[in-house]
Structure 1
């Protein structure tokens, strides 16, 4: 059956968070962040800002700004804010975070988005990203950083199954990442990592609606292109970084 383009599934509609993050972990993160009684919260690479909105709901005196360059995600965030009665306390802004002057603030979210703080012409540098986060955080302020790390040294076969150009130097180990946070001027108040279950929920949810659509519309004019893209995405996970690439969630406090 051939359908129109308007029948395509909504982008990432099955995901609550744009990353491997469970409801339970998100709740604990929010509790730790609002314990600092933030007046202002900055979300770098916010997507649709689900975690930002929940923080504002838990900290009724706070205001928030979400930065992203994806207009579709930002529109979704604005709609969510309106639905939850938070539209007057949050702003979703379509702009780059590189060199941003929207700080210092009391609290920052940067979940899987530290590359937004680095020179795009250079290799990703977590040390530079952490220095930027410290610049943007008031003394005593809190940051929740979600950052990739190698859970184990990847083999050549695993690297070959990942994204184009993947190499062992792209990520650090967990200990080295925490050391960089301390060097940048933070204390690591809480260190945790995404579980296998969280990864599987995210990876499957990322593609779920598209896979359902492909099964129902194999002859759609966009099916071949969509199928190739989704198959490539899934392969990089199951044949490459599954159980090799981790996500560390660090709750950091800026040293006075």
Structure 2
């Protein structure tokens, strides 16, 4: 029997990140010549692999709890000739011993380090070498969501789930960083990501409306679509390139 499709089958990055922005990020991060790269909540590690390809002497470590994503990351590393320079580890990032590194990637994964963002930022400061960089991808409210909007987002969504962009940058500064570069995902990037996330599922549902798992799959897809169309233009994602402040 035909199984439902993978929900991430059309995604390159598990987040609103275009090829143009990814290329610019890799150029900037590789330009600092990192020798070691640590990817927190790496998933398939696509951005880490691109940084490693751009810095031939660097080694990388990706940490995640999803064995399927990690396996796909290892396959991608092998296909690009990077196997000898990268590790994909199935383990928690909380209290990880795999630092400090010259470049730490934490894109949409601060919760893997700590429940509260200030604590996650403090952990990131301890994971990066002096003179290194942290790429933080973190959500922020573009405007405060209404109570009605919050009920249509993720379960238990609250206005306190994210700060505004100025407050997010201030939190990074208080944790011991200076923001070298501040940029935010565009609406086009969000729409491409969210559409690609569901695209294979939507096609499958259209072609298999009577499949035994269709009702469950349809409910999940409808719930996700309703959520992202609600937070569209309300929830933003910042990409902050952070420089650790040297100890005095």
TM-score range, shorter chain: over 0.9
Deviation string 1:106-142 (CA, Å, 9 cap, x unpaired) is 0011000000001xxxxx3111111000000011110
Q: Which residue of 2 aligns with 1:250?
A: 240
Matched, 1:112 2:99: no
Q: How many residues align?
A: 246
Pick the aligned partner of 1:148 from 139, 142, 147.
139
Gaps of 5+ in 1: 119-123
Q: Which residue of 2 aligns with 1:227?
A: 218
SS of the residue 1:92 aligns to: strand
CA RMSD of aligned residues (A): 0.9
Measure the CA separation in 2 of the matches of 1:35 and 1:131.
Answer: 25
Measure the CA separation in 1 of the matches of 2:55 and 2:2.
Answer: 44
Measure the CA separation in 1 of the matches of 2:109 and 2:34.
Answer: 21
Answer yes or no: is the 8 Å Cα contact 2:67–2:90 preserved in 1. yes
Measure the CA separation in 1 of the matches of 2:156 and 2:8.
Answer: 26
Pick the aligned partner of 1:93 from 89, 93, 114.
89
SS of the residue 2:221 aligns to: helix
SS of the residue 2:83 aligns to: coil
TM-score, reference length from structure 2: 0.97
Pick the aligned partner of 1:59 from 55, 58, 64.
55
List aligned pairs for 1:65-214, cutoff 5 A.
65-118=61-114, 124-214=115-205
Deviation string 1:187-219 (CA, Å, 9 cap, x unpaired) is 100000000000000000001111111111111
